[in-house]
């Protein structure tokens, strides 16, 4: 268990979802696999009624962030991985629920992959890769199309945030460029440095 600022975080960047994701890349013993499974089921059972996920074990009230770093998009990618590894329907259903949260609330005011629209589009690309359901591809393209059409204008108007590091992969336009490149062949799209 990893703590950050004295809290046990849940998200992909700083917490449980990220740790479980890495563990599922390893060769694990049966009891260790059960621990991973049990942790993920605990998270699903304790998500918000909205389907989004808490920021941390200590912060179970604020249902505000729908980011890869904190919330449904990052946890959802880990659930897709769990559906692949365990072949368990419960994980696939929870990933689809997470994608629904991202579709309804994930058009953020930033462009990058950590806490921006580009990263959230990977929730749909990941489910498209797993299921082949074109509805998810449509949703990824809708997010990417929004960025392609409007991001530059909205950033220059000050209506969207260009990122604390405007050209970086995780916070800025580097992430948007990476998403556009991935959409050339969406079946091969993977969230950079996370979906290996």
CB of 5 to Zn ion, least distance (A): 14
Say if residue 115 carries a ligand binding annotation: yes
- Here the tokens at position 119 are 């990263």
Closest separation between CB of residue 9 and Zn ion, Å? 12
- Residue closer to Zn ion by CB (options 119, 186) is 119
> For binding to Zn ion (CB under 5 A), which residues are involved?
69, 114-115
CA dist., res. 176 & res. 165, Å (int): 13
Residue with Cβ nearer Zn ion (91 or 170): 170
CB 133: neighbour CB atoms within 10 A? Answer: 13
Q: Long-range contacts made by residues 45-50, C-beta under 8 angstroms, separation at least 24?
A: 47/75, 50/101
Taking the C-alpha atoms of residue 57 and residue 43, their distance in angstroms, rounded to an integer, is 10
Is residue 114 marked as binding? yes
Task: For the CB of residue 69, give the shortest distance to Zn ion in the complex, in Å.
Answer: 3
Was 70 annotated as part of a binding site?
no
Alpha helices in 29-111 (DSSP H): 30-45, 72-86, 89-105
Name the closest residue to Zn ion (Cβ).
Answer: 69
Annotated binding site, which residues?
A: 69, 114-115
């Amino acid at each position: 268990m990893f703590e950050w600022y004295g809290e046990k975080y849940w998200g992909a960047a700083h917490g449980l979802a990220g740790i479980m994701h890495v563990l599922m890349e390893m060769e694990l013993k049966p009891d260790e696999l059960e621990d991973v499974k049990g942790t993920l089921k605990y998270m699903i059972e304790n998500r918000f009624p909205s389907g989004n996920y808490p920021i941390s074990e200590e912060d179970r009230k604020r249902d505000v962030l729908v980011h890869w770093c904190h919330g449904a998009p990052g946890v959802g990618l880990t659930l897709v991985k769990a559906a692949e590894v365990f072949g368990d329907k419960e994980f696939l259903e929870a990933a689809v629920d997470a994608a629904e949260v991202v579709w309804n609330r994930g058009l953020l005011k930033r462009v990058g992959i950590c806490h921006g629209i580009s990263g959230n589009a990977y929730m749909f690309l990941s489910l498209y890769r797993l299921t082949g359901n074109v509805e998810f591809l449509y949703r990824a393209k809708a997010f990417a199309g929004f960025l392609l059409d409007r991001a530059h204008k909205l950033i220059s108007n000050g209506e969207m945030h260009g990122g604390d590091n405007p050209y970086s992969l995780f916070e800025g336009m580097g992430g948007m460029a990476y998403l556009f490149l991935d959409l050339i062949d969406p079946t091969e799209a993977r969230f950079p440095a996370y979906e290996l």
